[in-house]
Amino acid sequence: MSQIDKDILKTLREIKFWIRLLAWEELKKMLERVLDSEEKKIAYILSDGKNTSTLVASRAGTSQSSISRWWQEWKVMGIAIDVSARGGGRAKTVISLEDIGIGIPTVLLRKEADVNE
C-alpha cells in the first residue's frame, strides 16, 4: 500500500469517527421518538433479520400487520435494513438499543429469563 493510500485510509477513518460521534445523539433521540411504546421497543430488539414478523408480533404483543408496517417505516428511516428470507423480507436493526443507551423493556427481560430457566 502506498503512502498516499495510507494517508487516505487514515483520513477516512478520522472522518468516520467524527461522523459517528456527531450522529450518535441524534440517532438516540430518533430511536426514543420512534420507539414510543414497549411493543415497538420489543419489536425493534427482536428484529434481527432472522425472526419472522409473526414471531416478532407474538413476542411484542401486537399484530403481524403492525410489525410489517413498522419494518417498512424503520427501513425508510434507516434504522433497519431489508433482509431477504424465504417467505418474504425481514428487517434487521442497525444498532442495538443497549449500545445506544436505551433500556430494554422489563417485559422482554422477564421473557428472556423464563426462556433461560
Largest CA distance in the chain: 56
CATH of the domain at 71: 1.10.10.10
pLDDT value at residue 55? 95
The domain in which residue 43 lies consists of 3-116
The residue-averaged pLDDT of 40-50 equals 96
CA dihedral (77, 84, 108, 115) in degrees, to 10, reads -170
Is the four-CA dihedral 68, 109, 78, 82 of positive or negative sign?
negative
Instruction: Reply yes or no on whether the pLDDT at 46 is more than 50.
Output: yes
Torsion angle (degrees, nearest 10) of CA 33, 39, 41, 42: -170
In terms of pTM, does the model score above 0.95?
no
The domain tally of the chain equals 1
